[in-house]
Amino acid sequence: MSAVQSAALDTQVEAEREILFRVVNRVAIVTLNRPAALNALSHAMVRELAVLVEHCRSDDGIVALVLKGAGAKGFCAGGDVREVQKLAKNADSRWLAFFVDEYRLDYALHTFPKPVVALLDGVTMGGGMGLGQAARLRIVTERSKIAMPETRIGFLPDVGATHFLGVMPTELALYVGLTGATLSGADALRLQLADLCVPAEWLATFEERLQRMPHDGDLLAALRGVFEPPCNIIPHAAVGPFTQLILRHFDRRSSIERMVATLRHDLEREPPREVRQWLQAIYDALTGHSPTMLYVTREALLRGRQMTLAECFRMELGIVKRVIDEGDFCEGVRAQLIDKDRKPRWAPATLAEVRPERVRHFLASPWKREAHPLVALGA
């Protein structure tokens, strides 16, 4: 084999790897490399990431970690829920190991002793948020599309969302978690889900600046200097004009049915076109997403505000097990992602039919404390 052929083969092998790893100026750069799938996480990727994170933790030659996605369309679109649904439909319990490993990985990043930087450029949803929100420096761009859209597939915002959405006022956390609203980079910055909003083209050259980064002094400040442009104009946050409406409609004391009623009332008053469009989108979400999981998500988000990160992960895993074993998840994935008929048959079908005891059942752990798969988190 010639040198040219060998180099071409190495390039092909590199392109086929789902996780890329290299070190630049003592900073590890980990790239999620499934651009055709918006870098969605497979179980194999989660396991490989966990190994790399542990390597970076123990290697004294590595001082920081940068997480990024391949391609221009997304950091990470989330976990591979189609594969999870396939396993669950076939009564294959291996799906649980995916979530256990994913949550352990996210927790390891949250508690990582060295600075972590996450480049949340493009689509960043679900499992992508689990990785990104663990970072000390979360960077978004004008292309960022940030969301926790799980209730539309009969699931809940997980991967630590019951903890990290707690950085914002309760009403805003309920709005983001219940509706699955897609936030811009500027929105994420306003809602404290990001630390910097920069032009996407600025990120394309970050490795050149990383090569020149000094290692004396404050390392996190030095990293921020690598990623923050000299002159940075932050785009307008689209969610801003609707803040008062969010505070009105997502009162923590309101049931989901009450939220729907106040939305309906405001729609009937024939508001201005832009406001009406916003109200209608929220109304459609709260009347179209899984009724059970809307109520379970509301309660989990409220409880999570009083819990540690480890407790939130344990609560989320218990809910995940119940909703996949006996809830709306499989039907939601079928309707939204597989058959794409957009007509999920939720059980129960309406908010009025969701009984309090059903909500409590989903929130009750399936395991005794000492037998919980995540019992070691935070120990």
Report pLDDT digits (tens) over 165-189: 999 999 999 999 999 999 999 999 9
Taking residues 258-262, report their average pLDDT.
97
Helices (H), the chain: 3-16, 43-58, 81-89, 94-110, 127-132, 161-164, 170-179, 185-190, 200-203, 206-211, 219-227, 243-249, 256-268, 273-288, 291-304, 309-326, 329-333, 356-363
Predicted TM-score (pTM) of the model is 0.94
pLDDT at position 327: 94
Q: Are 237 and 189 in contact (CB under 8 A)?
A: yes
CB-based contacts of 366, cutoff 8 Å, min separation 6: 318, 321, 322
Q: Is the pLDDT of residue 5 over 50?
A: no
Q: What is the pLDDT of residues 27-38, one digit of tens each?
A: 999 999 999 999
Residue boundaries of the structural domains of the chain:
1-147+192-237, 239-379
CA–CA separation, 230 and 62 (whole Å): 27
The two most distant CA atoms of the chain are separated, in Å, by: 75
- Report pLDDT for 235: 79
Which CATH superfamily hosts domain 239-379? Answer: 2-enoyl-CoA Hydratase; Chain A, domain 1 (3.90.226.10)
What is the architecture, at CATH level 2, of domain 1-147+192-237? Alpha-Beta Complex (3.90)
Identical fold for domains 1-147+192-237 and 239-379, yes or no, is: yes
Residue 238: per-residue pLDDT: 85
Q: Does residue 10 have a pLDDT over 80?
A: no
pLDDT at 153: 97
Residue 110 has pLDDT above 90, yes or no: yes
Tokens 């989108």 -> residue: 281
pLDDT band at 11 (very low <50, low <70, confident <90, very high): very low
pLDDT for the residue 237:
83
Mean pLDDT (the chain) is: 94
Residue 379: predicted pLDDT: 81
Q: How many other CB atoms sit within 10 Å of the CB of residue 10? A: 10
